[in-house]
Amino acid sequence: MNSSPPNNAIIQSILDLDVYKINMMYAARKFYPTTMVRYELIIRSNESLIDLKAPIQKEINKLHEYKFTQVELDYLSSHAPYLEDDFLDYLPEFEFKPQQQVRLDNSDSQKNLRISISGLWHETILYETMIMSIVSEIRNRIRWFDIPYHQPIDVLEAKIRGLRNSLAQRNITNFKFSEMGTRRRFSANLQRSIIDYLATNASDLMLGTSNYHFAKEFNLTPIGTVAHEWFMAHQQLTQPVNSQQMALDRWLEAFDGQLGIALTDTIGIDAFLADFSLERANAYQGVRHDSGDPFIWGDKILAHYHSLGIDPKSKLLLFSDGLNFDKALDICEYFADRANISFGIGTFLANDMGDWHGKQGKYQPLSMVIKMVECNGSAVAKISDEPEKALCEDPAFLTQLKQEFKVTVT
């Protein structure tokens, strides 16, 4: 971008990551301190990053310099009281060891850059958000440096104006969102500017941010619970067919019932509901949608609550699957007066250049994920409510998992 904000570092601090990574780090260390895992970068965009390997490697190696400061520990202690003292006492000892834990090479299958992260679960879990942020920003600094700094802010201003007009015209009063753009942001400094703008101009609609660093900087509520990897790892920590139940129960145990938003699509919504018993449905404050049709999903969730004798209005439905404001408002209207709803919105806020065109054509954010692929030396899987989001390196294990959970998607 053409402007140079105050801190030009790609990773602003060790807290420049998603809240739920530290939550899961705590739970992994508490219950599974010797568990070994492997994560892989998967680039979905039709764009090669092989020529960016050296600068990406250089930035990843810098993570060795990042440590938890006393100020950051005090912040976690006050804003995440569910983190026990034993864990907070451990954090000053924590260090990234990228030269041992992270490997970059060329992927034969993808014909693209491969990034593989391996090691103890609680020692490698924080890499995901940071490495995705690094990959995205290096790519944009080199290939999209000519985008004016005001461009995404102009786009955001127009979006907020349009949002307020739509809310008024459609008489929608149940719309609230959290900013969740860290992993696929254009840059750290743009994310800062966007959060600053939202906190100033949309504070009545914004619940908080999933980024600990910016939550601390702007005095916002840090938002985050759990991710797919928690459920995926349990496929190799118990019998696969029991993995979802164990993951749900261990999460409640780790946080004494706090952070009780259950992610529903690691296997799929139907398999999830089969494991979401009355006891679990009562214990969890709500559920999160991250793939598949949100309307069908929500109807199934509400029917399940009703079948258990639970008033859906006492629970929260959180939507976080590739949302924009228009889609979110449609969901608001559909579930109005039927349930409490909220939204996590990421790339649409943190990496949208509107109709900007450069020498390479129209700007598009890089589509990528980093997912756990192995736990204790064996494959794990995400089946999802969308077949194209399914992930597993072992076709035989994926078939077994689908059979055990009676999943019929291909």
C-alpha–C-alpha distance, residues 409 and 386, integer Å: 8
For residue 37, give the H/E element and its range.
Answer: strand 36-43
The predicted pLDDT at position 6 comes to 46
The predicted pLDDT at position 101 comes to 98
Q: Tell me, rounded to whole angstroms, the distance of Cα 180 from its chain centroid.
A: 7
Q: What is the pLDDT of residues 132-141, one digit of tens each?
A: 999 999 999 9
**Residue 18 token pair:** 């998603």
Burial class (CB in 10 A: 0-12, 13-18, 19+), 338: middle
- For the whole model, what pTM was predicted? 0.95
- Domain limits, the chain: 19-145+367-404, 150-350
Q: How is residue 357 annotated by DSSP?
A: E
Residue 110 binned pLDDT confidence (cut-offs 50, 70, 90)? low
| Average pLDDT, rounded, for the chain | 95
Phi, psi of 381 (to 5 degrees): -140, 150
- For the structural domain made of 150-350, what CATH number should be given? 3.20.140.10
* pLDDT above 90: percentage of residues in the chain: 93
Residue 30 has pLDDT above 50, yes or no: yes
Q: What is the pLDDT of residues 236-253, one digit of tens each?
A: 999 999 999 999 999 999
Say if CB 310 and CB 282 are below 8 A apart.
yes
- List, in order, residues 6 or more apart from 57 with CB less than 8 Å away: 104
- List, in order, residues 6 or more apart from 174 with CB less than 8 Å away: 332, 335, 336, 340, 341
**Residue 241 token pair:** 């067919």
Q: What is the pLDDT of residues 249-302, one digit of tens each?
A: 999 999 998 999 999 999 999 999 999 999 999 999 999 999 999 999 999 999
- Cite the beta strand spans of 121-259 per DSSP E: 177-179, 206-209
Packing angle between helix 294-307 and helix 325-335, nearest 10 degrees? 30
The predicted pLDDT at position 381 comes to 97
Written as one letter, the residue type at 207 is L
**Residue 143 token pair:** 């290939």
| Assigned CATH topology for domain 19-145+367-404 | nicotinate phosphoribosyltransferase (3.20.140)
Residue 107 binned pLDDT confidence (cut-offs 50, 70, 90)? low
The predicted pLDDT at position 360 comes to 86
C-alpha–C-alpha distance, residues 275 and 299, integer Å: 17
Max CA distance (Å), the chain: 58
The predicted pLDDT at position 329 comes to 98
Q: What is the pLDDT of residues 209-226, one digit of tens each?
A: 999 999 999 999 999 999
Q: What is the pLDDT of residues 65-91, one digit of tens each?
A: 999 999 999 999 999 999 999 999 999
C-alpha–C-alpha distance, residues 343 and 274, integer Å: 25
Phi, psi of 221 (to 5 degrees): -75, 125
Residue 388 binned pLDDT confidence (cut-offs 50, 70, 90)? confident
**Residue 246 token pair:** 């164990």
Average pLDDT score over residue span 338-348: 95
The predicted pLDDT at position 8 comes to 86
Average pLDDT score over residue span 310-330: 96
